[in-house]
């Protein structure tokens, strides 16, 4: 895609859980959710699907905003600071 614009769409769940699909161009390209298992103060998990030649990636962050930023950084292929794991 020429420009990667992401939107979040809440995933319907039975429990009141923060769980979102990440969409780009109307297609689900990943997921961000509030983990129920908190380790070392990190709560938000993110994962991207392998699309358009991109390798799948994942990680965890302290906030939802930080998870979205890490997702976007990984999607763009700018992982020089080690924010995502592949």
Q: Please give the pLDDT value at position 69.
A: 94
11 lies in some domain: yes
Residue 41 lies in a domain: yes
In a domain, residue 37? The reply is yes
Strand 27-39 and strand 19-24: the pairing is antiparallel
What local confidence, expressed as pLDDT, does residue 3 receive?
Answer: 62
Counting the structural domains of the chain, the total is 1
What is d(CA 3, CA 37) in angstroms, rounded to the nearest whole number? 34
What would the pLDDT profile of 18-59 be if each residue is shown by its tens digit? Answer: 999 999 988 999 999 998 776 666 689 999 987 677 788 999
In a domain, 86, yes or no: no
The DSSP result for the chain, as a single string, is --S--EEEEEPP-SS---EEEEEETTEEEEEEEEEEEEETTEEEEEEE---TTPPPEEEEESSHHHHHHHHHHHHTT--TT--SB-
> Which residues constitute the domain of residue 52?
6-75
| pLDDT tens by residue, 50-61 | 767 778 899 999
In a domain, 1, yes or no: no
Residue 13 lies in a domain: yes
């Amino acid at each position: 895609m020429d420009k990667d614009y992401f939107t979040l769409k809440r995933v319907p769940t039975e429990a009141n859980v923060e769980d979102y699909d990440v969409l780009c161009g109307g297609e689900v390209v990943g997921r961000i959710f509030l983990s129920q298992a908190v380790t070392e103060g990190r709560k938000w998990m993110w994962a991207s699907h392998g699309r358009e030649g991109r390798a799948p990636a994942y990680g965890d962050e302290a906030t939802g905003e930080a998870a979205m930023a890490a997702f976007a950084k990984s999607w763009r292929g700018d992982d020089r600071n080690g924010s995502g794991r592949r």
